[in-house]
Chain A
Amino acid sequence: MKRRTFLRTAGVSVVGATALAGCTDAEQTDDGSSPTGAETDTTTETNTDTRTGTTTGTSTSERTLRVATYSSFTGEDTAGNWLKSAFESAHDGVTVEFVTPESGLNQYILRRQQGAPLDVDAYVGLNTSELVRADQELEESLFAVPDLERAGNVKDGLQTDPEGRTIPYDTGYIALVYDENEVENPATFDALTTDPYRGDLIAQNAQQSDPGRAFLLWTIAAKGPDGYLEYWRDLLDNDVKILSDWEPAYQAYQNEEAPMVVSYSTDQVYYHGEGVDMSRHQVGFINDQGYANPEMMGLFADADAPELGREFMDFVLSPEAQAEIAVRNVQFPAVAGVDPGEAFSKYAYEPDEPVTFTYDELAGNVDGWIEDWAREVSA
C-alpha cells in the first residue's frame, strides 16, 4: 500500500473551527509532553536527549522504531522496557517507542480496512487466533515475512503460522492452579465433571480472556470439535464458574470461592518465598498436557522501518533477551536451550506434552467454536 505516505502527511491536521487538536496518534504513545501543559511522567530511561521537546534538529542517523504492544508489556521492570533500553544501547541513535492501543491488534485490522495509516512498524504480543482474524478480515496480509536469522531457533511446537510471518517469543502453558488442602489434581478432563469436583473450578470467558480462550481450545483439542460442547454441558452441570477475565477469577480463587482456577503453569514463580503457603499454589496439568499459548510478534507489511523492525525482532530472539523476557514476563522462552535462571526454572512447570492448535486448525473455526460455546453456556 503506497497510500500510507500520503496519508501520513495529510494526517497532521487540525479541525480548525472547533480548535480541537488534531493528530494521528490516538494511542498512548508514552512520549512527548502532556498536552495539558505539565511535565509528563514518561521520560525514558535512555536517550532522554532525543525525546524531549520536538524531534527537529536531531541528526539524520537517528531512527525510531514504533512497536505496538499491550500496556503491561511496558512500564518499570517489564520485558518491554528492558528490550527498549538494551536495543537502544546496542544501536546508536535508535529509539524504540511503544504504542499500546486498547483494542490490541484489532486497531490495526480496522485501520487497514479503513485506509487509515498504521503508524507502527511491529506488533508484539499477538496470539494465533488474532492472526487468523487478521487474515480473515483483510485481503492482503497485515504482516510481512520478516526473514529473521534466529527464526529457526524457535521451538517446533510453538511455530503456528505456516507462512512464518509471526514469530513466537515466549509462551505460557494453561494449567489448573489448585489448593491441595481441598482437592487433588483432577489430572483428566473427565474427572472435572465428577462429583468430587462439583463447584470447584473457576474458568474465564473465552470471548474476553486469553487463558479462558486457551482453556476452551484445550477442551476442544481433547474432546474434539464435535464433543466439546457436550463436555462443557457436563462441566456446567458440575457448577463450573465462568468469570469475565483472569483477574477476577484469580481474585475469587484467592478469596476461597473455589479451590481450583484456570491459570498459568508459572503460578509459583510469583508466589514462592517465605511465609507463602505453597499448598494453595499447586499447578495441575491435565493428561500431562498443558495448552501452549505462545505470544508472537510480527513486522507490519507497510512498516516505515522494516529493517530496524527485523533487527529488533532478531534481538528479541537472542538468548540474552529470551532469558530476560522469560523472567520479566513470567513466561517460558520460545527459543530452545535458553536458561532463564534458577528461580524461574525451579517454580515454572512445563508440561510433558504441550498442545496447541495450529493456524490452519483455527482458521475458519475458532470464532464459531467460541460462539457455540458461549450460547451453550448462556442457554
Chain B
Amino acid sequence: MRWPSSDRIVFPVGLLATLLVLVVVFYYPVGRVLLAAIDPAGSPLAPIGDVLADPFYVGVAHHVFTNPASVPAGVLAWLADGAPLGAFEFGLFGFTAYQAALSALASVALGLPGAYVLARYDFWGRRTLTSLTIVPFVLPSILVAVGFQAMFGRTGLLNDLLAVVGLGPIEVLYTLPAIVIAHAFYNAPLVTRFVTGAWEGVDAREIESARAMGATPVRAFRDVVVPKLLPSLLSATLLAFVFSFMSFPIVLALGGLELQTVEVWLYAKVQSLELEAAAGLAVLESILSLGLMYLYLRYESGQIASRSGRLSRARRSLLAGWRTVSDPRRLAVLAYGVVAGVVFLGPVLSLLIESITGPDGALTMAYYEFLLARQASTAVGTIAPLTAIRNSLLFALGTLAVAVPMGVIVSLVATRGGRGSRLAEALLSAPLAVSGIVVGLGLLETLVFGVEVFGYRLTVTGWLAVVAAHAVAAYPFVTRNVTPALAGIDDRVVDAARSLGASRLRALLTVTVPLIAAPLVAGAAFAFAISIGEFDSTVLLAEGGASHTMPVALERYVGNRSIGPSLGPATAMGSVVLAVTAASFVVIDRVGGRYDG
C-alpha cells in the first residue's frame, strides 16, 4: 500500500525522525569505525583481508583467501584421505559460530517448552511469570557470572543439592557447556517471549478442521501449529545466535580464555588501539549477522498469514488434582519446570543468597548497609542507589517513548512490501547485528569528541542523546515483535476504519495498535529491558549525575574497596536491579495488557 495523501505530516516526519536518530547515534558513528577497515591508511580492505588470510581467525578457510588455486587440490587430498572431519581447524570465527549455534539450540531447548506452557496452560501466576521471563535479559554479565558460580560452581548450590540425593559433584564451570548454559540463560527468554505470542495466536478452528479431516493430533500440530510458530521461533533463534556470537564478558568470566570468541579479540584490538584490525573483525562480524538477518527476513515475509478474526484456544489447567501426576504431558511440563528452575531460578536465587552471605558464609546485611551508606553519602563520585534507580527508570521510560514509535514506524515500512523492503529492514535491524564495542567506540569518536562542521566542533551528548542511543539499541526488539503481527493484519480492517472517518494516524492508534497490542507490549518490555541493562553508551553520553544508572552503580560498587574487594555490594545492587526490573515488567504487561483484547 502506498502512503495515502493525508497525514502528510505525521508519518513522513516520524520516518524522518527515526532515520535521523539512527544516522546520528548509530549509522554515522558505526560507519566511521568500520570505515577504518574499508579505507585504511594502507591499501583498501587490507584489514579485512588480513583477517581472512589468517588461519588463527578463519582456520582452514584461509586457503581460500591466500591461495585459492590450492583449494581444489587440498579438497581432493582430503577426500582421498577418507574425508576425516577432525582434520580441520576453523579458527576463532569457526569456534565462535560453533558455540553460538550450540547456544542458540540450547536457548530453543530451554525456551520453547516455556512458550508451550505459558501459551497452553493456565495456572496461578501465569501472567506474572510471563512478565518475568525477560528478567534474565537485563542482568549485567558480572552478576550472571556471580550467580552461575554460586549455582553451578564446585561448591555451588546445585552440587549441594545433588549431594543430598547422593549425586555429583558435577563441574561445568570453565567449560563450553557453562558458556552455552549462560547464553541460554540470556536468550531462552527471547524464544519464550517471541513464541508464546505466536502460539496463543493459533486458531482453534484450523486445528479442528485439520482433525476433522482425519489428522492425528501430532499431524495437526505439525501441519497447523508448527507453521504458525516457525517465523517467531526462527526469529528468536537467529537473535540468540547473533547475540551469542557477539557475546563478550560472560565468555571469559565463565569459560576462560581458551574459549574466547571474536568479540574478545575485537575488544583487545580496541584496547590496544589497533583500530584498523578491530574494524576488520567488526566488518566481518556485521556482514555475517546482517547476512543471516536478511536471509531470515526473506523467509519470514513469505510465512506470515492473516491473523484477524481468529478464535483462540482455551488453556488447559496445569494442575488437575491427582490426575496431574498420571498425565504424561503434565509430568513432562513439571519436569521442564525443574530444569528451568535450575537454569533460571538457580543463578538468580544464588545471587540473592550471595547478597546476604558474608565471606565467611554467615548471614550478613553488610552489603545492603553498604547501599544505605551510599545513599547517605555526599562524597564526590559516590552513586546513591535511589538516584540510580530513578535515572534508570527515567531513561527506560524515555526509551519506551522513543523506541516504540520508532519500532512501529520501521515495521510499517517493512510491511509496506515492494522491492528492497527486506533489505531495508535488515539494514534497519543493524543495531542488533553490530558489536556493542564498535558502537561504543563510534559514539566516543563522533558524538563525544565532536564532529567539525563549518569550523565548529559539534558534540551530541546529554540525557537526550542517552535516550536516543538506548532507543536505537532497543527499537529492533519492537520491530521484530511487531512486524509479523502487523503483516498479519488484514489491510481491509484498516481501510474500513479509514472509510469510517479515521485518519491514517487515528486508524493506526484505534485499530492497528490494539490488534498488535500483545507483541507490541512484548517488544516494549524488551526495549525497557535493553535500556535498564545498557551501560556503554550511558557512561559515554550522559553527563554528571545523569549517568548514574543501576548498571553504572553496580559497576562502581564492583570496583569499590571500602568493605574489602568483595562482589557483595554488587550482588546487593543486583538484587535491587532484579526487584526494580521485575516490578517494571509486571507493570508494563498489566498496563499494556489493558489494550489487548
Contacts and interface: CB of A to CB of B under 8 A. Distances in A.
Q: Do chains A and B touch in the complex (CB under 8 A)?
A: yes
Interface of A: 7, 10-11, 13, 15, 18-36, 38, 40-45, 70-72, 74-78, 80-81, 84, 98, 100, 102-103, 106-107, 109-111, 114-117, 133, 137, 205, 207-208, 236, 241-248, 250-252, 254-257, 270-271, 275-277, 330, 367, 370-371, 374-375, 377-379
A100 B379 CA distance: 15
A194 B154 CA distance: 22
Given A10-B457, A22-B461, A375-B56, A236 B258 contact: yes
B293 interface: no
Contacts of A256: 153-155
Interface string B383-399: 11001001100100000
Contact of B556 (A72, A109, A117, A379): A72
Contact of A30 (B274, B381, B536, B561): B381
B253 interface: yes
A114 B456 contact: no
B378 interface: yes
Contacts of B142: 247-248
Contact of A111 (B145, B268, B382, B449): B449
B252 interface: yes
A251 B567 contact: yes
B51 interface: no
B169 to A, nearest CB: 11
A33 B153 contact: no
Contacts of B149: 248, 251-252, 255, 257
Nearest to B358: A275
Contact of A208 (B271, B382, B455, B556): B271
A255 B460 contact: no
B585 interface: no
Contact of A98 (B153, B374, B381, B460): B381
A27 B552 CA distance: 13
B564 interface: yes
Contacts of A375: 56
Interface in B353-388: 359-360, 373-374, 377-384, 387
Interface residues of B, number: 89
B490 interface: no
Interface stretch (B78-86, B481-489, B543-551): B543-551
7 contacts: A24-B450, A45-B379, A75-B380, A102-B539, A116-B449, A255-B156, A367-B274
B373 A76 contact: yes
Given A21-B462, A114-B449, A378-B258, A45 B380 contact: yes
A133 B457 contact: no
Interface in B535-569: 536, 539-548, 555-556, 558-562, 564-565, 567
B264 interface: yes
A182 to B, nearest CB: 12
Contacts of A28: 539, 542-544, 547-548
A35 to B, nearest CB: 5
Interface string B136-147: 000000100110
A107 B567 CA distance: 27
Given A35-B462, A36-B463, A241-B256, A74 B268 contact: no
A36 B543 CA distance: 10
A107 B444 contact: yes
Contacts of A367: 272, 274
B444 A271 contact: no
Interface in B448-484: 448-450, 452, 455-465, 468
Contact of A40 (B374, B545, B567): B545
Nearest to B464: A20
A185 B450 CA distance: 52
Given A22-B462, A41-B545, A243-B253, A30 B272 contact: no
A22 to B, nearest CB: 5
A270 B540 contact: no
A11 B146 CA distance: 42
B174 interface: yes
B512 to A, nearest CB: 27
B363 to A, nearest CB: 13
A103 B270 CA distance: 10
B394 A36 contact: yes
Interface of A is mostly: loop
B455 A10 contact: yes
A7 B542 CA distance: 21
B190 interface: no
B252 A243 contact: yes
Contact of B381 (A21, A74, A102, A114): A74
Nearest to A367: B272
Given A15-B460, A106-B271, 7 more contacts: A19-B464, A31-B380, A41-B383, A75-B381, A75-B560, A106-B273, A114-B445
**Considering the complex of A and B, which 10 residue pairs feature the smallest CB-CB distances, nearest first?**
A21-B462, A74-B381, A244-B252, A72-B559, A40-B545, A26-B448, A116-B449, A242-B257, A207-B268, A76-B379
Contact of A23 (B254, B274, B461): B461
A33 B565 contact: no
A20 B460 contact: yes
A75 B382 contact: yes
B380 A84 contact: yes
Nearest to B373: A76
Contacts of A133: 272-273
Contacts of B379: 45, 75-78, 81
Contact of A42 (B150, B173, B382): B382
Nearest to B535: A102
B548 A41 contact: yes
A27 B452 CA distance: 19
B592 interface: no
A102 B271 CA distance: 11
A255 B153 CA distance: 7
Contacts of B273: 106, 109-110, 133, 137
Contacts of A246: 565
Interface string B317-328: 000000000000
B465 A21 contact: yes
Contact of B173 (A80, A236, A257): A257
B267 interface: yes
A7 B381 contact: no
A277 B56 contact: no
Contacts of A116: 449-450, 457
A41 B154 contact: no
Nearest to B89: A379
A70 B539 CA distance: 13
Contacts of B258: 236, 242, 377-378
A110 B444 contact: yes
Chain A CB count within 10 A is highest, among B373, B444, B536, for B444
Nearest to A375: B56
A9 to B, nearest CB: 10
Contacts of B394: 36
Interface in B420-464: 444-445, 447-450, 452, 455-464
B359 A254 contact: yes
Contacts of B252: 205, 208, 242-245, 248
Nearest to B463: A35
A106 B156 CA distance: 39
Interface in B147-175: 149-150, 153-156, 173-174
